Amino acid sequence: MKEWKISKPKITTSAKEDVSKRASALVNGVLKPQHIKPELDNFHFNHLVDIFLKWRGSSLSFCAKYNSYEENAISPSFDIKFARLIYVGDNKFNLSYMRHNGKWFELHVGLTGKECCDAIKSEPYFVL
């Protein structure tokens, strides 16, 4: 029996540039100032030190980097993804957030890059 593979639309250069610009503005202008705080002495919790973007194919992930100061930490730092935009064609994206169980949950379908960034900025699912 032959399996049919659904082809995913390839993101256009203009759509990628537009959403990259909007996402970078959100990260640098809103998320970093709101969430990245100076490190304290004797810190005993994971500490958010950076927020960045990562493209993989037609998907854009919002990522956070944490430093871990515990003596028994597996690694001194680690990255997590907390939001993902998947290009679906016609300059539209599906927006997901990472649940506590490590699975993506799709919240919105067919949003523009601006609408995705607005949702990440204002909805409680994307709190770091």
| 4 lies in some domain | no
| 104 lies in some domain | yes
- Does residue 40 surpass a pLDDT of 90? no
| 6 lies in some domain | no
Residue 113 pLDDT level (bands cut at 50, 70, 90) = very high
The percentage of residues in the chain with a pLDDT greater than 90, rounded to a whole number, is: 73
Q: How many domains does the chain have?
A: 1
| Tens digits of residue pLDDT in 78-93 | 999 999 999 999 999 9
- Does residue 41 surpass a pLDDT of 70? no
| 17 lies in some domain | yes
| 47 lies in some domain | yes
CA 14/CA 66 separation, integer angstroms:
32
| 78 lies in some domain | yes
| 5 lies in some domain | no
Q: What is the pLDDT at residue 43?
A: 66
Domain of residue 122 covers 13-36+43-126
| 1 lies in some domain | no
Q: What is the pLDDT at residue 3?
A: 72
